[in-house]
């Protein structure tokens, strides 16, 4: 027993004494550690040229824990580091199992100065360059050895907080550059439940920080392993003013202002499987808002924005290492108060813009697809002012649905979409042209396909376009307005194959327009209509070849060429043409010609107004001063005929030398009808008196007009009325494609009053028409340009007036035809003539006006001349009757009384002439004679006519001429002819070659 006690005490002492020594050493170390640490800490900062003060430092060994309070580092009286509190501790027991568990982790009140000067980084006054060079050497000499089969430690941080801290960052990349300074304030950085081992980590993080004036509030949870990972990020109350990042924004944008705010939730994950890594984003949302943006732009530009929002919701996306991508979600953009100003006073403003669309985009095996069931874009109050364009738009809305897009690895592209566009009050101005519309609505189902960047196809189905209130104005020139237009089409497709010219196909196109008005100026209306429509149009066009067919074209209340008054826009004079209704049925046209089944016009009113120079006053397309006065005879038209086509076929082997030839564009019209109250008003101020006549058209019809078939005969049937009683009717059958004129016609004119048309006829006849009524039955045929026919004319109460001052001038000594025409009248005072007609249009002198009127004149002259020849035979020495100029003129001439040179008295060789003259005046008791003495150069003793004579010679010659006239008057008076019937003219001197001494006589 005693032995046991003796042996136990030494053993107990052997255990206790070392333990006490160890405890003593630890106690002494615990007591000395703060002082030693403070000493070395201060010594280190002194080596860096700084001073450090530490109010509290405590080190615990069981469990290990370090607490530092109120550490301050100063350099040159500037605080470079302030630490209010640092608390760090770990648990010992988990170390035995390979786990580092942090029991305490807290940083509070850290203020840190970070500077960048050129390539040097200075943190808390310590230049890190001294450590970077040493670290580089150690890395080359001491390469760490990796242990095989080493087990990574587990790190556990239940809670770490980093609060109330500030980091000041100043940068000066160049000594000449100003210092840029930023402040990062960490209000709270909290890490909770952080557990990590090797590449397996999980935990949660919460950050609330300020960068300058920016506020960032983030929260995240994550779990990452080598094969998969998950993370979520919550963004809330994050505000990023542009002013907070001035140093990071390039010029000139760095002086901009604006507040960007972010809010949202992002959930991401990754997976690794069989060497493939995939990333996913699920159930995420993000909203970015920008307010009060004021941003300078290059070249003194400027942009401002009241507010805008971009929101992504229900967002999911995936990506893998095989470049397979997919993303879908909803996109919403709201923008208001956008103003942009560019150089040269260019600007753009948008009051409001909104975009709302779900989207689904994917790429798999290099095939890209995108689709959205519905998308809406709304634009309000757009104003655009550029150097070449000014545009305003009150509102435009675009709705897209069933949008699908796909692109293959070979760059083949396919797109299909159904769209609806609505736009209100759009105005545009470019150069001197202004356009505007009130509303526009367009719906369409479209598809687009492109194969390997070559073949392109665009298909449009179910097209509906409505446009109202359209106007287009050219400054001081044209002005076009359209009240409403509606276009509906079944299909409209465009095919571009191998970069060739487009192939356009359209089916069942219908067009309707209302209230169309086109003005060339304020005083000139080119055309207008109340309503026009095209129905069931089908077209096919490729390069220069096209084929168009339509069921019907209808135009109501058509006006063509109408002068206006500038102030009231009311008609200043009648329009050239107005038509109540135009209906064209079944049109088929191609590049070679057009075929029309029927044209019906109702209520056609034409107004032809000619001014004093025969210019059309109400033709607004050509300025009046630029109009050419029509020539007396129309030039022949050298239009291509059927023989040209035949010749072309025969010379096909020579096509290379005549490649410009093209067969004439043919026209086939089965029927044309003019119905309703139709008329033609003619006003001609070029004649005196002016003509004012209205021709009422009772019937006008064309059948089988065909310029393609040489054997096809066209017919014209018409009937018109002038005033109540005068009528004109006729029918014509013509072969339009004949090489030369081939036709048959019948024209009937009844009770046509001639005096109003006297100026036109007088130019050919040479006489005015004082009175008369025309009844005409004209039958005319032409075969290969040779014209034959008969004209039965009855002229009632037909009287000719004075000579017309025209090319048919009645010279001195000619008795007017109107004196002799009266002999042709029958007992009722009428003239009845049957006139044969013949001619050839190939004759250069041929003219239709002369052809139709000259035979009448010819008949009158022939009948009159027969009578006059019989009447004046007893006085043949005094009176001569001649027809000349192709029997187009009849002259009844009084021959002059001839004298010998210097003779003034009557002689015996003049007795026969004097006797017949005396008998004629006695027989025609109402006649009066004018005697004009004429002296010749022979009376002056000259053999040749001089260029001029002296005044004395002229006086002598006038005296001789006067004596001759007085000798004749004395003789006639001696023969008991009253002196009051004889008139003496002023003497005349005739110096022309071959002139004879004489007395010119005229009744």
- Residue 136 confidence (pLDDT) above 70: no
Q: What is the pLDDT of residue 626?
A: 65
**In which band, very low, low, confident or very high, does the pLDDT at 554 lie, cut at 50, 70 and 90?**
very high
Q: What is the pLDDT of residue 814?
A: 42
Three-state secondary-structure class, residue 213: coil
| Span 76-99, pLDDT tens digits | 888 888 889 888 888 878 878 888
Higher-pLDDT residue of 644, 110: 110
- Residue 642 confidence (pLDDT) above 50: no
Rounded to the nearest angstrom, the gap between the alpha carbon of residue 752 and the centroid of all alpha carbons in its chain is 53
**In which band, very low, low, confident or very high, does the pLDDT at 886 lie, cut at 50, 70 and 90?**
very low
Of 190-199, 450-459, 814-823, the range with the lowest mean pLDDT is: 814-823
Q: What is the pLDDT of residue 704?
A: 94
Residue 533 is inside which H or E element, if any?
strand 524-542
Q: Which long-range contacts (CB under 8 A, 24 or more apart) does 239-247 make?
A: 239/214, 239/215, 240/214, 240/215, 240/216, 241/213, 241/214, 242/293, 242/295, 243/212, 243/213, 244/211, 244/212, 244/213, 244/214, 245/211, 245/212, 245/214, 247/171, 247/180, 247/182
Q: What is the pLDDT of residue 639?
A: 43
Contact assessment for residue 302 and residue 262, using Cβ atoms and an 8 Å cutoff: no
* pTM > 0.75: no
How many other CB atoms are found less than 10 A from the CB of residue 511? 17
- Residue 657 confidence (pLDDT) above 70: no
Q: What is the pLDDT of residue 333?
A: 95
Q: What is the pLDDT of residue 224?
A: 87
- Residue 883 confidence (pLDDT) above 60: no
Contact assessment for residue 400 and residue 374, using Cβ atoms and an 8 Å cutoff: yes
**In which band, very low, low, confident or very high, does the pLDDT at 227 lie, cut at 50, 70 and 90?**
confident
Q: What is the pLDDT of residue 722?
A: 87
> Among 369-383, 869-883, 926-940, which range has the highest average pLDDT?
369-383
Residue 868 is inside which H or E element, if any?
helix 848-871
> Among 407-421, 461-475, 840-854, which range has the highest average pLDDT?
461-475
Q: What is the mean pLDDT of residues 919-927?
A: 78
**In which band, very low, low, confident or very high, does the pLDDT at 771 lie, cut at 50, 70 and 90?**
confident
How many other CB atoms are found less than 10 A from the CB of residue 523? 15
Of 574-583, 592-601, 616-625, 707-716, the range with the lowest mean pLDDT is: 616-625
Q: What is the pLDDT of residue 199?
A: 84
Helix, strand, coil percentages (3-state) for the chain, rounded to 5, are 20, 60, 25
- Residue 211 confidence (pLDDT) above 80: yes
Contact assessment for residue 736 and residue 715, using Cβ atoms and an 8 Å cutoff: no
Of 557, 480, 482, nearest in space to 520 by CA: 480
| Span 658-699, pLDDT tens digits | 444 456 888 999 999 999 999 999 898 888 788 888 999 999
HSE-CB at 399 with a 13 A cutoff on CA atoms is 7
Q: What is the 3-state secondary structure (H, E, C) of 241-296?
A: EHHHHHHHCCCCHHHCEEEEEEEEEEEEEEEEECCEEEEEEEEEEEEEEEEEEEEE
Structure letter (DSSP) for residue 811:
-
Three-state secondary-structure class, residue 43: helix
Q: What is the mean pLDDT of residues 150-178?
A: 84
> What's the rounded Cα separation, in Å, for the pair 914 and 932?
16
Residue 549 is inside which H or E element, if any?
strand 545-563
How much is the mean pLDDT over the chain?
A: 81
Q: What is the pLDDT of residue 998?
A: 92
Both tokens of residue 529? Answer: 């209509």
Of 591-605, 832-846, 866-880, 984-998, the range with the lowest mean pLDDT is: 866-880
**In which band, very low, low, confident or very high, does the pLDDT at 530 lie, cut at 50, 70 and 90?**
very high
Strand partners, 579: 558, 604
| Span 260-288, pLDDT tens digits | 999 999 999 888 887 788 888 998 999 99
- Residue 809 confidence (pLDDT) above 50: no
Structure letter (DSSP) for residue 420:
E
Of 70, 76, 67, nearest in space to 45 by CA: 76
Q: What is the mean pLDDT of residues 976-993?
A: 88
- Residue 915 confidence (pLDDT) above 80: yes
How many other CB atoms are found less than 10 A from the CB of residue 398? 16
Strand partners, 495: 457, 503
Of 350-354, 597-601, 795-799, 918-922, the range with the lowest mean pLDDT is: 795-799
Q: What is the pLDDT of residue 645?
A: 45
Rounded to the nearest angstrom, the gap between the alpha carbon of residue 954 and the centroid of all alpha carbons in its chain is 78
Q: What is the pLDDT of residue 35?
A: 65
- Residue 421 confidence (pLDDT) above 90: yes
| Span 560-581, pLDDT tens digits | 999 988 555 556 789 999 999 9
Strand partners, 585: 552, 598
Percent of the chain with pLDDT over 70: 80
> What's the rounded Cα separation, in Å, for the pair 468 and 485?
6
The torsion angles phi and psi of 824, rounded to 5 degrees, stand at -85, -15
**In which band, very low, low, confident or very high, does the pLDDT at 807 lie, cut at 50, 70 and 90?**
very low
**In which band, very low, low, confident or very high, does the pLDDT at 636 lie, cut at 50, 70 and 90?**
very low
Q: What is the pLDDT of residue 379?
A: 94
Of 391, 569, 585, nearest in space to 481 by CA: 569
Over its C-alpha atoms, the chain yields an Rg (Å, rounded) of 57
**In which band, very low, low, confident or very high, does the pLDDT at 887 lie, cut at 50, 70 and 90?**
very low
């Amino acid at each position: 027993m005693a032995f046991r006690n003796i042996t136990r005490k030494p053993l107990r002492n052997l255990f206790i004494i070392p333990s006490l020594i160890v405890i003593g050493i630890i106690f002494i170390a615990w007591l000395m550690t703060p002082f030693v640490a403070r000493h070395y800490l201060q010594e280190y900062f002194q080596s860096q040229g700084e001073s450090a003060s530490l109010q509290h430092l405590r080190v615990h060994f069981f469990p290990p824990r370090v607490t530092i309070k109120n550490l301050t580092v100063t350099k040159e009286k500037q605080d470079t580091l302030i630490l209010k509190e640092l608390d760090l501790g770990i648990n010992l027991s988990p170390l035995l199992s390979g786990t580092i568990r942090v029991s305490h982790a807290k940083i509070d009140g850290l203020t840190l100065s970070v500077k960048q000067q050129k390539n040097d980084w200075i943190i808390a006054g310590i230049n890190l360059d001294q450590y970077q060079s040493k670290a580089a050497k150690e890395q080359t000499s001491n390469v760490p050895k990796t242990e095989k089969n080493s087990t990574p430690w587990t790190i556990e941080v239940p809670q770490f907080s980093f609060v109330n801290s500030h980091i000041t960052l100043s940068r000066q990349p160049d000594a000449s550059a100003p210092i840029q300074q930023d402040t990062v304030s960490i209000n709270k950085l909290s890490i909770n439940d952080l557990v990590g081992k090797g590449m397996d980590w999980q935990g949660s993080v919460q950050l609330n920080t300020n960068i300058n004036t920016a506020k960032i509030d983030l929260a995240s949870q994550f779990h990452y392993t080598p094969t998969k990972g998950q993370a979520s990020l919550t963004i809330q109350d994050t505000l990023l003013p542009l002013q907070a990042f001035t140093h990071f924004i390039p010029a000139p944008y760095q002086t901009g202002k604006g507040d960007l705010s972010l809010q949202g939730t992002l959930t991401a994950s990754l997976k690794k499987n069989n060497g493939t890594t995939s990333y996913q984003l699920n159930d995420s949302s993000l909203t970015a808002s920008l307010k009060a943006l004021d941003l300078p732009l290059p070249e003194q530009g400027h942009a401002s924005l009241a507010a805008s929002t971009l929101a992504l919701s229900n967002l999911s996306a995936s990506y893998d290492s095989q470049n397979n991508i997919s993303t879908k979600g909803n996109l919403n953009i709201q923008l208001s108060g956008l103003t942009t100003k560019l150089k040269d006073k260019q600007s753009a403003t948008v009051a409001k813009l909104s975009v709302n669309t779900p989207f689904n985009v994917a790429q798999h095996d290099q095939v890209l697809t995108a689709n959205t069931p519905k998308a809406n874009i709304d634009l309000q109050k757009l104003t655009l002012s550029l150097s070449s364009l000014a545009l305003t738009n009150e509102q435009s809305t675009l709705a897209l649905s069933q949008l699908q897009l796909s692109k293959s690895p070979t760059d083949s592209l396919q797109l299909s979409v159904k769209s609806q566009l609505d736009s209100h009050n759009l105005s545009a101005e470019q150069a001197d042209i202004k356009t505007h519309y009130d509303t526009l609505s367009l719906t369409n189902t479209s598809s687009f396909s492109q194969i390997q960047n070559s073949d392109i196809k665009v298909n449009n189905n179910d097209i509906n376009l409505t446009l109202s209130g359209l106007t287009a104005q050219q400054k001081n020139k044209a002005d076009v307005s359209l009240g409403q237009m509606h276009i509906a089409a079944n299909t409209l497709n465009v095919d571009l194959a191998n970069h060739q010219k487009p192939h356009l196909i359209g089916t069942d196109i219908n067009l309707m327009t209302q209230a169309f008005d086109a003005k060339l100026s304020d005083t000139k209306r080119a055309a207008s209509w109340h309503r026009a429509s095209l129905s069931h149009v089908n077209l096919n066009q490729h390069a220069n070849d096209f084929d168009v067919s339509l069921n019907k074209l209808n135009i109501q209340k058509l006006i063509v060429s109408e002068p206006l008054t500038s102030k009231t826009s009311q008609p200043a004079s009648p329009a050239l043409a107005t038509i109540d209704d135009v209906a064209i049925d079944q049109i088929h046209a191609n590049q070679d010609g057009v075929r029309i089944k029927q044209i019906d016009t109702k209520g056609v009113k034409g107004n032809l107004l000619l001014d004093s120079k025969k210019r059309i006053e109400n033709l607004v397309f050509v300025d009046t001063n630029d109009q050419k006065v029509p020539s007396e005879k129309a030039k022949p038209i050298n239009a291509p005929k059927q023989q040209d086509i035949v010749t072309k076929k025969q010379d096909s082997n020579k096509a290379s030398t005549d490649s410009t030839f093209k067969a004439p564009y043919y026209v086939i019209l089965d029927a044309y009808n003019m119905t309703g109250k139709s008329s033609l008003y003619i006003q001609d101020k070029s004649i005196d008196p002016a003509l004012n006549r209205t021709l009422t058209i009772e019937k006008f019809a064309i059948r089988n007009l065909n310029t393609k078939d040489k054997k096809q005969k066209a017919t014209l049937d018409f009937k018109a009325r002038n005033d109540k009683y005068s009528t004109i009717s006729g029918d014509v059958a013509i072969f339009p494609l004949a090489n030369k004129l081939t036709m048959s016609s019948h024209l009937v004119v009844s009770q046509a009053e001639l005096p109003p048309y006297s100026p036109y006829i007088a130019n050919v006849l040479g006489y005015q028409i004082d009175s008369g009524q025309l009844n005409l039955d004209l039958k005319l045929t032409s075969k290969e340009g040779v014209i034959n026919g008969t004209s039965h004319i009855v002229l009632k109460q037909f009287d000719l007036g004075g000579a017309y001052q025209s090319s048919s001038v009645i010279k001195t000594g000619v008795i007017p035809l109107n004196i002799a025409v009266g002999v042709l009248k029958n007992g009722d005072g009428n003239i009845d003539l049957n006139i044969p007609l013949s001619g050839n249009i190939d004759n250069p002198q041929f003219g239709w006006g002369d052809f139709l009127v000259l035979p009448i004149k010819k008949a009158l002259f022939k009948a009159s001349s027969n009578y006059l020849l019989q009447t004046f035979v007893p006085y043949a020495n005094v009176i001569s009757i001649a027809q000349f100029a192709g029997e187009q003129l009849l002259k009844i001439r009084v021959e002059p009384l001839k004298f010998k040179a210097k003779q003034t008295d009557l002689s015996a060789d003049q007795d026969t002439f004097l006797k017949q003259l005396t008998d004629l005046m006695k027989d025609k008791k109402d006649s009066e004679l004018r005697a004009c003495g004429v002296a010749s150069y022979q009376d002056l003793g000259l053999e040749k006519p001089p260029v001029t004579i002296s005044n004395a010679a002229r006086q002598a010659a006038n005296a001789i001429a006067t004596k001759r006239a007085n000798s004749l008057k004395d003789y006639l008076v001696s023969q008991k002819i009253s002196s009051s019937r004889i008139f003496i003219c002023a003497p005349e001197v005739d110096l022309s070659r071959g002139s004879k001494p004489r007395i010119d006589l005229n009744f």
